[in-house]
Amino acid sequence: MTTIATARGAVRPKAQNRVLAVTRLQFVNRWTMFYLPAIILGAILLLNMAIWYIVLASLPTGTDVAHAEKGFQYTGAVFYIFIYMLVVAVQAISRTFPFALGFGVTRRNYYLGTALSFTILAIAFSVLLTVLSIIELATNGWGAGGHMFTPTYLTNASWGLRFVMYLCLFLFFLFVGSAIASVYVRWRAIGITAFFAILALLIVGGIAIITLGHYWTAVGTWLATTGSVGLTAWLLLPAAIAAIAGFFVLRRATPKS
């Protein structure tokens, strides 16, 4: 009669080591995670600066420069970097999930390690954006009165508040990205189609409820009182829901070849 026992040479891996190994794995290619998004951010900034200078240079003499610069307050250029982070999250999970499973990682440890790497990524880029926003204010908008990192509702905010708002935005986009990626990894294209169909239904349903119940005034009041800072903070709720949903979706996912 043979016995079943832990094999010689077998080791008991420490759980936190496996989680951290996944976190390190997500960052092993610095280029994808840090350099490329940073370069994209730099390119957007340069492009915006070019536009500001062209606009300023093309002003007819005697125009109020301050008036033109007022228009620069509303750039949504920095938004690209948030969307790009959603793409980074989707790519990171769809690429490394089947790979990490071959390395003997549980789905749980994979997700926890990945979530930790996304949080680190969010903090790193929030620091970068905060530093750039401080430079932007100190240089009078890159010498052109531009506001890429300090849009109009953030001009008077403290750098600490700006950091927190950036962090909320990054966490939102990264974890929505990881939820989408988990759906893709588990159910492929059909899952993604169903996901967006359900999302569209929820949005339309929400609008219907607000419209039919005549709640638009209430919504408007809530938006006005919550303000941009409050609204950004509210993003943490869907971010947390996405993070938890992504975990449970990935728990039963199998790598497809």
Partner 1 sequence: MTTVVEATGLTKKYGKFAAVDDASFRIEENRIYGLLGRNGAGKTTIMSLLTAQVFASSGSIRVFGQSPVENAEVLGNICFIKESQTYPEDFRPRHVFASAPWFFPNWDQDFADRLVADFRVPMNRRIKKLSRGQLSAVGVIVGLASRAPLTFFDEPYLGLDAVARQTFYDRLLEDFAEHPRTVILSTHLIDEVSNLLEHVIVIDDGRIIIDEESEDLRGSATIVAGAKSAVDGFVAGRDVIHREAIGGLVTATVSHLDEAGRSAARAAGLETSPVSLQQLIVRSTNLSESEEGQKS
Applying CB under 8 A, which residues contact partner 1? 2-13, 15, 17-18, 20-21, 24-25, 28-29, 31-32, 91, 95-96, 98-109, 251-252, 254-255, 257
Question: Cα dihedral sign for 159, 236, 212, 221?
Answer: negative
Q: Report angle CA 187, 31, 168 to the nearest 5 degrees.
A: 65
In the bound complex, what is the minimum distance in angstroms from residue 85's beta carbon to partner 1?
16
In the bound complex, what is the minimum distance in angstroms from residue 121's beta carbon to partner 1?
15
In the bound complex, what is the minimum distance in angstroms from residue 117's beta carbon to partner 1?
12
| Residue at token pair 């938006």 | 223
Q: Which is nearer to partner 1, 16 or 140 (CB)?
A: 16
Residues 114, 224: Cα–Cα separation, whole Å: 36
In the bound complex, what is the minimum distance in angstroms from residue 129's beta carbon to partner 1?
24
Q: Which is nearer to partner 1, 2 or 156 (CB)?
A: 2
Residues 243, 60: Cα–Cα separation, whole Å: 52
Q: Which is nearer to partner 1, 53 or 95 (CB)?
A: 95
Q: Which is nearer to partner 1, 3 or 217 (CB)?
A: 3
Q: Are 135 and 143 contacting, i.e. CB atoms less than 8 angstroms apart?
A: no
Q: Which is nearer to partner 1, 10 or 212 (CB)?
A: 10
Q: What is the CA radius of gyration of the chain?
A: 23
In the bound complex, what is the minimum distance in angstroms from residue 162's beta carbon to partner 1?
31
Q: Are 175 and 189 contacting, i.e. CB atoms less than 8 angstroms apart?
A: no
> Residue 226 — φ and ψ, nearest 5°?
-65, -40
